[in-house]
Structures are given as structure tokens and as C-alpha cells.
Structure 1
Amino acid sequence: MCTLTLAWQVFEDAPVAVAANRDEALDRPAGPPDVYRASPLVIAPHDVEAGGTWIGVNEHGVFAGITNRWTERDLAGERSRGLLVADVLETTSAADAAAHVERTTSEHEYEGFNLVVADAEDAIHLGWDGSLSRTAFDPGVHVVVNVGFDETFALPAERRDLGERQAESARAVREALEPRDDERVEGWLERAGTVLGDHEYGVCIHGDGYGTRSSSLLAVGERTRYEFADGPPCRTAYEPVGIEGQF
């Protein structure tokens, strides 16, 4: 699974704050965050195998991040979900990004996904399982995993036990990352990185050929900051991504 935690309109100087783990096949090649596109400027990691990306931010303050979505439908997946993330990072607002997703899912069939787009004005969850759902987030902390988000979960019959564990992990992460009194975004992101690497929460995965490949911490606002762990956060330090002065 992947885990995406969004604190939206919680911190005054960073209306979008994100902590996310990426789980993937261990041998799938990927590049760390860098300039993914120059115009508009997009900072994102790169999926070398299929192109596209799974998380990123652009010069307009638009964030996008995706997780797989488990579904019982047989979807063709004719276009990479990572290319969809790259597409929405060309937009100038989260609202425009959501409109783009609505258009492209009427033209292409993707494998199931949970996509979050956010900026200072809007935060939107777009879920695709052969049909598209759209949910506007309220201010606060939200956690997205393969089976859904917050208290909105759909558990496929063939993965019900694992899906229930995912849902419990999402609830635990959300509770742990509720903001503390007078907490600033820097402190919240530090706590979030610790939670994402703590096996007690079940979101740092180690399996046979599959597991948590990387982790991202982002603050998008007056000054955009990005830290990246190029490996499981339980044993990999977060390092700053060199974007100072580019936004």
C-alpha cells in the first residue's frame, strides 16, 4: 500500500503539508525529486519504468499525490496513473487539476487510484474504480491508503482482512498526527516522518520484493520545503531537496 497524509489549512504559513510513503516493487527504477518539468516548474520524483510521478508540487502551489486503489473491477489500465499526476501538476490550481481528472477519466481507463490535489484554496480527493468520485476535504488532517481515506473505506472481498488492517493503520496515523497546540509545520512534519517509519503504525512495509521504497515530507506555502527519504523511513534519513529559491 501507499500512505498519504495531508494537513490542509492547519498551518498558517503552509496551508498544504504532506507526509507520504511510497510502496512499490523493490526493483522498479525511480529517480529522486528534482526538476521534473521547467514550465511550469514542477518538483517531483520520476518513475523511470512508466514515466510520470506519484507525488509533486508546482510553482503555482499545486500539490498532487496518488495511491493505488483496490477495486474488484477489472480495469484495463491503458494509461499510467503516474502520467495523470504529471498532467495535473501542469495546472494552476487544485480546482483546475480536479477538472482535468474529470475530463481524462472520460477518455482513458486507468487502474484504480486515490488522487489528492491541493492548494491554499482547495483540497480534493478523486477516487477512480471505473467511475470517478470527488470529495472536497475540510480543513484538518486526512489520511489516504489503498482502501480509501479517513472513515470512507471500501474493502474488496478478496483482501478484506488486509484492507481492514489498512483502515486501522490509517485511523492510527490520523489520530497520531492531529496537530498539537501551537505546533508549527516544521514540528508536525518531523513527527510525521517518525510516525511513517514506526512499524507500530503498519505503514512502513517490508516484504519479499515489495515494500516502502521512499518517503516524502512537503510544506507548500510562503516557502515551499521538500524533504525526501530515498528508502524506508524506518532506517533512511530525510534529506532536503534542493529547491531553495526556485519557487
Structure 2
Amino acid sequence: MCIAYLSLGAHPHWPVFIAANRDEFHERAALTARPWPEAPEVIAGRDLTAGGTWLGLSRSQQRWALLTNFRDPGAQRDGLESRGHLVSHFLQNDASPEEYTKYIHSRANHYNGFNLIVGQGAHAWYVGNHAASTGPVALAAGRYALSNHALDTPWPKVERLRSRLDALTPAGRELELEPIYETLRDGVQPEDHALPSTGLSLEMERLLSSIFIVSPAYGTRCSTIIALDADGKGIFSETTYDTTGTPVERHDWPVLPA
């Protein structure tokens, strides 16, 4: 997962709204989102290399979690635990978002750089394990955006996603998914002077600078939308893409409270 927009308690009909893209190497095997056989209430994709996931929802408890890596090539370490388990463990756990993020913060050095947001309904906490993080933080009602730096870091792609999705806030209970997907497929790249400097080559900074990334080796693998109303009803929708950025399949999973 490399970019996500999150609206918490900011809309009267959709107190939880998430729109996100997962960017990854195309050769890294993964399952598309679906109910997990061992935990049918959980809907999420699955990384087949390490077994975790990047974004998921437990329908019965309105528990959800999303993860992005923190981009710092010089700080990567081998032999650490998979960051994807930070999401999957929360989805199958009973700990509150506050308890869980505090626990993860206590063992943050077991992972390479990450940003993690976990929630139950509109109650959510954020934690990271990088220099820009100050420890677990409760998220107030509002709208947030996250990529591969700290929460709300104003990278051009982050601000572009935030402004475009802010403008798409539904006026009522009707939620049109296609305009949201169109925004998540935005491939506009900013000018070079606006690019962040994260230790990558200029060519790579350019490639990674758009909301939607297309290249033969690495790119946006899927877009996901989660929307929950105050009763916990809603939708989990995912579209997957091939190496050219062409949509391959889409699934819309209804969400009903237990």
C-alpha cells in the first residue's frame, strides 16, 4: 500500500471512508481481496511471499487496518518481521486500536519503516516507527492522507489525492464508486522541483510521484474502497490491474454488522 485517503467522522452518512492504492513489484505474488477461509469475517488481499496484508476489514466487528512502508532506502534491514502481519494480526485480534498501537510501538524495532492506522468504526489510532513518528496518536474526526512518509506529509501526490477526494464527498447516502476509482487512477506527475527527496534516483522519484503508478516491473496492483455507515453497513470494493495499468477485475463485497 503506497497511498491512502481516510475520512473519519467527517460525513454524516459515511463515518468511515477509505480509498487506497497498493503499489508493489508485479512479480511478488498476492491474492486479491476475498474472505479468508480461516476467518470468513475478514476481507483482505494476501501477500503470498510473507503471508500478511496491506489493507483489510473485519466485517463483524467493523475493525479495519491499513499499512504503508516508510521510504528510507538507507535504513532497510534484513531478517526482520513482515510488516504485513501488523494488519492481519489486528484484524483477527480483540485489542482496541489504542492498545494495539501501543503494543506495536513497544516492539517497533522488529520491523522496517512503516506507517500503520488501525480502527474500529470511526475510532482510529496511527503509529509509525520512523524519525517522523512521535508514538501512537489518536485520530480526531477529519480527513487524512498517507503515502510513504509520515501521516499528512504534503507530498504532491498526497495533496492531489486529498483535494480530489475531498471534492467527491457524497452529498447523501448514495456512494458512486467509479469517480473514486477514476481519482485513484490519476497518473499525473508533478514537476521535478516539487518531487520529494527520499534517497532514490530522480527517475524513480518521478515514477513514484503519481497517485497511480504504471511500469513493467513495479506499479499500482490494486485500488480499494471501504465505506461504512454509522450502523456498520457498507461496502468493500477492490479493482486489480495488470502491468499496463489496465483494470483486470473488480469485486464489491457487502458489509453487514454482526
The interval holding the TM-score normalised by the smaller chain is: 0.7 to 0.9
CA separation in 2, counterparts of 1:34 and 1:168? 32
1:23-38 matched pairs, under 5 angstroms:
23-36=23-36, 38=38
Quote the RMSD (CA, aligned, Å): 2.8
Runs of at least 5 residues in structure 1 that lack an aligned partner in the other structure: 154-166
Give 1:180 deviation, angstroms.
Answer: 5.8
Alignment of 1:146-225 (within 5 A): 146-150=148-152, 152=153, 167-179=155-167, 183-184=171-172, 186-187=174-175, 189-200=177-188, 202-221=210-229, 222=231, 223-225=233-235
Could you tell me the TM-score, scaled by structure 1's length?
0.80
Deviations 1:31-62 (A, max 9, x none): 11112264582111111111011100112111
Q: TM-score, normalised by structure 2?
A: 0.77
1:70 matched to 2:88? The reply is: no
Moved over 4 A (4+): 37-40, 179-182, 243-247
1:40-189 alignment, distance < 5 Å: 41-58=41-58, 59-71=60-72, 72-76=74-78, 78-92=80-94, 93-105=96-108, 109-129=110-130, 133-150=135-152, 152=153, 167-179=155-167, 183-184=171-172, 186-187=174-175, 189=177
1:16 deviates by 1.2
- Deviating more after overlay: 193-202 vs 56-65: 193-202
Following the alignment from structure 2 to structure 1, what is the Cα–Cα distance between the partners of residues 173 and 187?
A: 23
Cα distance in structure 2, aligned partners of 1:68 and 1:185: 33
User: CA–CA distance in 2 between the matches of 1:69 and 1:77?
Assistant: 17
* Structure 2, unaligned runs of 5 or more: 190-209
Q: 1:182 to 1:203 in 2, by over 3 A?
A: closer
Change (3 A) 1:180 1:209: closer
Q: 1:4 touches 1:20 (CA, 8 Å); kept in 2?
A: yes
Q: Is the 8 A contact 2:23 2:213 kept in 1?
A: yes
**AA in 1 matched with 2:238:** F
1:241 aligns with 2:252: yes
Distance across 1 between alignment mates of 2:169 and 2:27: 42
Structure 1 residue 75, shift from structure 2 partner: 3.5
Checking the alignment, whether the CA contact within 8 Å between 2:214 and 2:245 is kept in structure 1 is no
Are 1:227 and 2:215 an aligned pair? no
Cα distance in 2 for residues equivalent to 1:227 and 1:238: 11
> Compared with structure 1, are the counterparts of its residues 26 and 51 closer, same or farther at alpha carbon in structure 2 (3 Å cutoff)?
same
Question: CA 1:97 to 1:36, structure 2 compared with 1: closer, same or farther past 3 Å?
Answer: farther
Q: CA deviation at 1:140?
A: 2.0
Q: Which moved more, 1:41-50 or 1:70-79?
A: 70-79
Aligned residues: 231
Q: Contact 2:239–2:251 (CA<8 Å) still a contact in 1?
A: no
Query: Percent identity over the alignment?
Result: 27
